[in-house]
Structure 1
Amino acid sequence: MLASCTGLAAPAGQAQAQPAIDRADRQRLIHLVRQDCGSCHGLRLNGGLGPALTPETLAGKPPAYLEHVILRGLPGTAMPGWQRMLAPDEAAWIAARLLKGFPEE
């Protein structure tokens, strides 16, 4: 699946801009990931029905790929797309935090 999104990654050596998310939205997104995503990926994001979402398990996956999965889901799996509930900048914020270690509520 990664191959289908390789064009979404930033060119080597070029950092992606981090989306600006205000404090209230950050708290809402942290709660959403911990509760809604956590219902499949484990409340500590260490895996469950869905795979773990830890920096170790996501290492090597481009942020743009993760954003795409968050927004569009993964066909043929239980992973739904969240594009009706999340804006692209919110998905980018979530992806960036997952790669660093997702904050607690």
Structure 2
Amino acid sequence: EVLDRQLSTKTNELEAARQRATELQSQLETANAAEEDLREKLGGAESKLVDLSAEKERAEARIHELVSGHEDAGKLMSELAEERAEALAKVQALAERNAEAQSSIAE
């Protein structure tokens, strides 16, 4: 009778351990899927960052071109500075999102 109770207790403990292992496996799979999703988002954010950096360079080249070639350089500089500021803000926002995604992946 004592052995039956011990066997029953060990069987219950083993079943509980199996259930916990199943739960942990499920959590691991969920975490792996989330990591993959974050890696994809990070790749997209990095691509956008490269595009925006190129846009910024084009805006700077355009500023230089317009300043050297137009009489109303002050107005054009102002407009282009606004464009550049917008591009820089986009680059900064993507850099922040990129950092957040990398931080999330690290976790």
TM range (shorter): under 0.3
Higher helix share: 2
TM-score, length-scaled by structure 1 = 0.26
